[in-house]
Amino acid sequence: MHKEQAKNGARISSWMMFLLAASCGLIVANLYYAQTLVGPISVTTSLSSTAAGLIVTLTQIGYVVGLLFIVPLSDIIENRRLTVGTLAVAVVALLAAAFAPNAALFLTASLFIGIGSVVAQILVPYATFLASEEQRGRVVGNVMSGLLLGIMFARPVASFVTSIWTWQAVFVLSAILIALLAILLSRALPERSPAPGVTYGKLLISLVPLLKQTPALRRYALYQACLFGAFSLFWTVVPLRLADDFGMSQQGIAWFALVGVGGAVAAPIAGRLADKGWSSRLTGLAMIIAALSFLLISLFQSHTTIALILLFVSAITLDMAVSGNLVLGQRVIYSLGSEARGRLNGLFMSIFFVGGAIGSSLGGWSYAYGGWTIASLIGVSLPLLALLYFFIGKRTARE
């Protein structure tokens, strides 16, 4: 398939849309399994409490490395072959993590789990190649719903599996699923061979001018970096508050994490509305909802049932804001040009994942030194910064 199906007026099938959405969810979940398993993993691998944070950090670093150095390859290498090859890396890394005898090997495996999991960001723009222009927003929304469900289900699933068996079982089961998925995708995905002519070196060098020459990419990446930073801060700190202030067990926290799954419903809705030209208004609305979500729980800090209910509500509304805005951003990014779609997506995702990493670190630091009060105030400020940048960008565009 040399050309986009959209140019021929073709429409992506419901089955293919479902396959891509499910694939993205299963793949990206690998980034989040370890977040609720840091304790038991540290004990088994003799990792010190000071270094335990590297378990999640190295996975995220691996993901950003993959976004910058593997995802751009989708602009020059046949996508199906690239997808299967990168998934093979993830399978080997997951098995290495499960059977790692020491911390050094586990942390190395974590880095490669992150690298292998970037396949999700090869499949999302791939879906847009299969979609017609008028259905592109809906397709991105549906596929991103699968990805977001993977993110949101990963933590509670990892906790539940570990409570039944061991934390190693989580990685073994995921390795089996990813291996089966690679076989399925190798048979089900249509071939897509990008037009030749650019070497890998030139491809990487082109990332810098591409970022400079694409203001829409910079804007939407920074919007999402702020919102994903708030999202990461929330899910880093809220388990600590649930344990400290409400006495929840690990299993209770896992049940709470399931609440956020409801936020994924915003992704397909945002995609459909984006197809109708509502992207700009909905972007501002997402930032306002994210800020209000944190403001609500910063004002009510008691240990009462009402405060707990508000935490539940904020978890849903914050996740809706982040997932909806992500689809809006990608809808804009994918409309900028098909030749550089892989690189545009890699830059977009790497920037907003850096925002997520900053949010996580700010959450841990702020909760340790200022408790829930400081953490929630930082959570309010991040979407407000995005909103300020949003209004400045609109004013500059008018001038």
For 259-315, write each residue's pLDDT tens digit.
777 777 777 788 788 778 788 889 999 999 999 999 988 887 777 888 888 998 998
* pLDDT tens, position by position, 104-130: 999 999 999 999 999 988 998 788 777
Which has more confidence, 20 or 269?
20
Q: What percent of the chain has pLDDT over 90?
A: 30
Q: Are residues 298 and 326 in contact, defined by beta-carbon separation less than 8 angstroms?
A: no
- pLDDT over threshold 50, residue 7: no
Q: Are residues 80 and 192 in contact, defined by beta-carbon separation less than 8 angstroms?
A: yes
Residue 123 to residue 342: CA distance in whole angstroms:
10
Task: Write the Ramachandran bin of 46: left for phi over 0, alpha for psi from -120 to 50, otherwise beta.
Answer: left
Domains in the chain: ranges and CATH: 1-199 (1.20.1250.20), 206-399 (1.20.1250.20)
Exposure letters 152-162 (e unless 16+ CB within 10 A, then b): bbbbbbbbbbb
Residue 103 to residue 90: CA distance in whole angstroms:
18
pTM of the predicted structure, to 2 decimals:
0.78
Exposure letters 283-294 (e unless 16+ CB within 10 A, then b): bbbbbebbbebb
> What secondary structure letter does DSSP report for 332?
H
Q: What token pair was written down for 97?
A: 């993590």
Give the confidence band of 164 by pLDDT, cuts at 50, 70, 90.
Answer: confident
Give the confidence band of 50 by pLDDT, cuts at 50, 70, 90.
Answer: low
Q: How far is CA 357 from CA 76, 127, 305, 363, in A?
A: 29, 27, 31, 10
User: 3-state DSSP call for residue 74?
Assistant: helix
